[in-house]
Amino acid sequence: MVLTRVRRVALALIALVALASAGAWRAASRPPVARAEAPAGLFATSARYVLRWDRAGTAPAPGGPPGAFVVTSNLGFEVRVERGFVVDTSASLVDCLGPGGDVWRPAGERAASWVARGLLGVAHAGHSQAADPSSLARATLTDLTTADGDRVAGETRFPEARYCHVHLVIAGGAAPSPYTATLPTVDTTRTSLYVRGAFRRAGGELRPLELRSASADALLVDLPSVVEGPLTGRAAVVVLERRLATMFDDVALDALDAPGASAAAAKAVLRNLDRRARVRVTTH
């Protein structure tokens, strides 16, 4: 009985060794897998985030308050904007360590990264759960009717790293300010977009317009495609320029009385401002 068990164990070990040998032979006979190249990215140690309005295609609103403007949408709506704002909640660069991104790193650096992920619980899906050191987590309210010029949301400094994307988020969270004090019915801690004015079809009567949204929207942009300057520049200036002329495109303003239509229209305007924005990055 004992010999039979020993024989069975021995046979099982022999089988395992044979399978392992066969697997090793097959692996050796395959052509070698090409080592992945390091992803293109920007080496940076600081980032300044700048917000800007593109007013091309707008016109001053006759008799309106300072900064009020008029645009015409692609659906033929003439829209007069007298008050409004957008709240940018955060901005950051995103490192190049996407899924499988470790393959181009030196073995020692990969091992250190794995240990850090194990100890800190870092997610490896394009960016970490922890905020990247380049992140600017500060809500910035930008007036739609403000004078032309740049609004510097903030600047961060951090250890040098390779970055492949820019991540920008609109989600509300602005603190009270002298500007928002003039809008007592608008909760800026929850509102990501607010627009007040009027609209009409060409030649029609003006109808009052008030849109507000608590929705969030995010923009993820490939860095190498928008960098104007060397990728080895250590100081990055990220400029987000939003187009006002197209903010009401594809929005059916004459249907706002339907249930839920106003919230949907506000969300569409927010998406237009975000998704049609131009991002430029200069380095030095």
Tell me the chain's radius of gyration from C-alpha atoms: 27
Residue written as token pair 């309106």: 64
pLDDT at 113: 40
**Closest Cα partner for 283 from 91, 15, 45?**
45
Q: Which residue has the higher pLDDT, 257 or 26?
A: 257
Helix (H) or strand (E) holding 90: strand 77-95
In this predicted structure, the answer to whether residue 94 has a pLDDT above a threshold of 80 is yes
pLDDT at 187: 83
In this predicted structure, the answer to whether residue 128 has a pLDDT above a threshold of 50 is no
Helix (H) or strand (E) holding 241: strand 235-243
Tell whether pTM > 0.85: no
pLDDT at 8: 56
Percent of the chain topping pLDDT 70:
74
pLDDT one-digit tens code per residue, 41-66: 999 999 999 999 999 999 999 998 99
In this predicted structure, the answer to whether residue 106 has a pLDDT above a threshold of 70 is no
Instruction: Tell me how far apart the alpha carbons of residues 89 and 86 are, in angstroms, rounded to a whole number.
Output: 10
Model confidence at 26, pLDDT cuts 50, 70, 90, reads: low
Q: Which residues contact 12 (CB under 8 A, 6 or more apart)?
A: none
Instruction: Tell me how far apart the alpha carbons of residues 78 and 245 are, in angstroms, rounded to a whole number.
Output: 11
pLDDT at 191: 92
pLDDT one-digit tens code per residue, 168-199: 999 888 888 777 888 888 887 889 999 999 99
pLDDT at 132: 86
Q: Summarize the confidence of residues 96-112 as an average pLDDT.
A: 48
**Closest Cα partner for 85 from 228, 269, 265, 281?**
269
Q: Summarize the confidence of residues 125-154 as an average pLDDT.
A: 78
Q: Summarize the confidence of residues 134-163 as an average pLDDT.
A: 90
Model confidence at 146, pLDDT cuts 50, 70, 90, reads: confident
Provide the CA 222 distance to its chain's centre, in angstroms.
10
In this predicted structure, the answer to whether residue 35 has a pLDDT above a threshold of 50 is no
Q: Summarize the confidence of residues 200-213 as an average pLDDT.
A: 92
In this predicted structure, the answer to whether residue 13 has a pLDDT above a threshold of 90 is no
Model confidence at 21, pLDDT cuts 50, 70, 90, reads: low
pLDDT at 181: 83
pLDDT one-digit tens code per residue, 267-278: 999 999 999 999
Q: Summarize the confidence of residues 246-272 as an average pLDDT.
A: 96
pLDDT at 236: 96
Q: Summarize the confidence of residues 146-169 as an average pLDDT.
A: 91
In this predicted structure, the answer to whether residue 100 has a pLDDT above a threshold of 50 is no
